[in-house]
């Protein structure tokens, strides 16, 4: 009798592991949903649609993109967080995963419910002013802001976004007071800048690049550690005098926490091969993004450090969102 009970106990322990192993070996046996927490046509959506076909080829199953915009990325992240950790729901990871935990008093999901898989690329933000403003570099802008506290305005694409926080990080490091004017989207903010409603703005490089190249905006600095190949003559924020300043939009892949190790490994390896494709790299560069690979472990470390940075900025700027 005792021996029988021991056998039953051993079977109870082993069967879940065996079933998990069988599921992992068979994965993927059906199409995979990729949740994109933004509407179609934006940077993150475009990168998802760039990567999905190649990932589909690597895995031998269709990748179905499901746009779930809203609440600063929280709606899409919440859907992924609640999904079964079976490899059939993935999330296009992006800055809201590190910004929102620093800003929202109540997140609709727990950050540890989402596990990073890989970083695929990053996008510089760029600090721009109107050409007619007579501001030639970051030092001149900083000096002007210090001489007119509260009299300069900066645009963003909304409260709590990467563009908003890029400006607040600059303000905190430069010791200046510039008023935030949130617009309904980056395009509206850029229009306000060119119309003279505001004096400066941080924007994702791809959306501002054409205006910069056309002479309608003047780029003072990019926010990445290295200069952008799209604007090789524009210094980084650090080169321009803001020591330690580093911000970039980024995109990659995440999944509900608790994926079987074999599924997680296969997915990471497939994404690494996709990211190494010359065609993918060229398309990223054409879109103003920079190929940048990180595995799951390194991406997790980056995300923790990024959230810590934004918590400091949020405390400095007294930003708290419901």
CATH number of the domain bearing residue 211 = 3.40.190.10
Structure confidence at residue 184 (pLDDT): 86
Place of tokens 């008093």: 105
Does 298 lie in the same domain as 216? no
What is the tens place of the pLDDT at every residue in 83-112? 999 999 999 999 999 999 999 988 999 999
- Of 118, 76, 45, give the one whose Cα is nearest residue 302: 118
204-to-4, 5, 20, 43, 80 alpha-carbon distances in Å: 65, 63, 42, 9, 25
Mean pLDDT of 283-303: 93
Decide if 172 is inside a domain.
yes
Structure confidence at residue 3 (pLDDT): 56
Decide if 73 is inside a domain.
yes
Residue 299, pLDDT > 70, answer yes
Instruction: Give dist(CA 43, CA 206) in Å, integer.
Output: 8
Structure confidence at residue 144 (pLDDT): 97
- ∠ CA(247), CA(249), CA(253), 5° rounding? 130
Instruction: Give dist(CA 297, CA 174) in Å, integer.
Output: 33
Place of tokens 């959230």: 307
Per-residue b/e over 79-103, b at no fewer than 16 CB within 10 Å? Answer: bbbebebbbbbbbbbbbbbbbbbbb
- How many beta carbons lie within 10 A of that of residue 127, not counting itself? 25
Q: Which two tokens stand for residue 12?
A: 């109870």
Does 103 lie in the same domain as 37? yes
Q: Which two tokens stand for residue 79?
A: 């859907």
Which among 222, 257, 275 is the end of a domain? 222
Decide if 157 is inside a domain.
yes
Does 153 lie in the same domain as 103? no
Decide if 4 is inside a domain.
no
Decide if 140 is inside a domain.
yes
Does 196 lie in the same domain as 162? yes
Does 137 lie in the same domain as 99? no
Does 130 lie in the same domain as 99? no
Q: Which two tokens stand for residue 103?
A: 């800003």
Mean pLDDT of 266-287: 95
Does 217 lie in the same domain as 146? yes
Pair 98, 312: CB distance under 8 Å? no
Residue % of the chain over a pLDDT of 70: 92
Q: Which helix (H) or strand (E) holds 45?
A: helix 43-59
Decide if 13 is inside a domain.
no
Does 214 lie in the same domain as 149? yes
Give the pLDDT band of residue 4 (cuts 50, 70, 90).
low
Count of positions (residues) in the chain: 322
Decide if 254 is inside a domain.
yes
Structure confidence at residue 258 (pLDDT): 97
Query: Which residues does residue 156 pair with via DSSP β-bridges, in sequence order?
Result: 182
Does 156 lie in the same domain as 294? no
Cis peptide before 28 (omega within 30 of 0): yes
Place of tokens 């933000």: 125
Does 130 lie in the same domain as 118? no
Residue 19, pLDDT > 50, answer no
Place of tokens 């079977």: 11
Which structural domain, as residue segments, surrounds residue 41?
A: 31-123+248-317
Does 138 lie in the same domain as 102? no
DSSP state of 235: P
Does 116 lie in the same domain as 255? yes
Mean pLDDT of 19-34: 75
Place of tokens 């995979």: 32
Which among 181, 204, 222 is the end of a domain? 222
- How many beta carbons lie within 10 A of that of residue 270, not counting itself? 20
Decide if 190 is inside a domain.
yes
- How many beta carbons lie within 10 A of that of residue 269, not counting itself? 13
CA torsion sign for 56, 59, 61, 65 is: negative
- Taking the alpha carbons at both ends of the chain, their separation in whole angstroms is 59
Query: Where residue 293 sits, what CATH number does that domain have?
Result: 3.40.190.150
- ∠ CA(256), CA(49), CA(279), 5° rounding? 115
Residue % of the chain over a pLDDT of 90: 79
- How many beta carbons lie within 10 A of that of residue 286, not counting itself? 10
Tally the domains of the chain: 2
């Amino acid at each position: 009798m005792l021996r029988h009970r021991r056998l039953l106990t051993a079977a109870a322990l082993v069967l879940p592991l065996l079933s998990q192993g069988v599921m992992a070996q068979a994965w993927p046996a059906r199409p995979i949903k990729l949740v994109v927490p933004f509407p179609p046509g934006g940077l993150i959506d475009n990168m998802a649609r760039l990567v999905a076909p190649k990932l589909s080829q690597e895995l031998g199953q269709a990748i179905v993109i499901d746009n779930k915009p809203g609440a600063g990325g929280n709606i899409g992240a919440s859907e992924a967080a609640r999904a079964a950790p079976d490899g059939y729901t993935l999330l296009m990871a992006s800055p809201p995963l590190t910004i929102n935990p620093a800003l929202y008093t109540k997140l609709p999901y727990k950050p540890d419910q989402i596990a990073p898989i890989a970083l695929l690329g990053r996008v510089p933000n760029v600090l721009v002013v109107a050409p007619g403003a007579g501001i030639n570099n970051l030092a001149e802008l900083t000096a002007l802001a210090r001489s007119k506290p509260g009299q300069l305005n900066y645009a963003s694409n909304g409260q709590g976004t990467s563009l908003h926080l890029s400006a607040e990080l600059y303000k905190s490091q430069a010791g200046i007071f510039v008023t935030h004017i949130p617009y309904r989207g980056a395009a509206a903010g850029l229009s306000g800048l060119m119309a003279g409603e505001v004096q400066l703005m941080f924007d994702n490089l791809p959306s501002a690049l054409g205006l910069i190249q056309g002479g309608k905006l003047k780029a003072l600095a990019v926010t990445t550690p290295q200069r952008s190949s799209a604007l090789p003559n524009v210094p980084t924020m650090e080169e321009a005098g803001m020591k330690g300043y580093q911000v970039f939009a980024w995109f990659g892949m995440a999944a509900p926490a608790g994926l079987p190790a074999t599924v997680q490994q296969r997915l990471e390896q497939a994404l690494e091969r996709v990211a190494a494709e010359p065609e993918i790299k060229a398309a990223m560069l054409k879109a103003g993004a920079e190929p940048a690979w990180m595995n799951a472990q390194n991406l997790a470390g980056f995300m923790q450090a990024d959230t810590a940075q934004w918590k400091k900025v949020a405390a400095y700027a007294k930003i708290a969102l419901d």
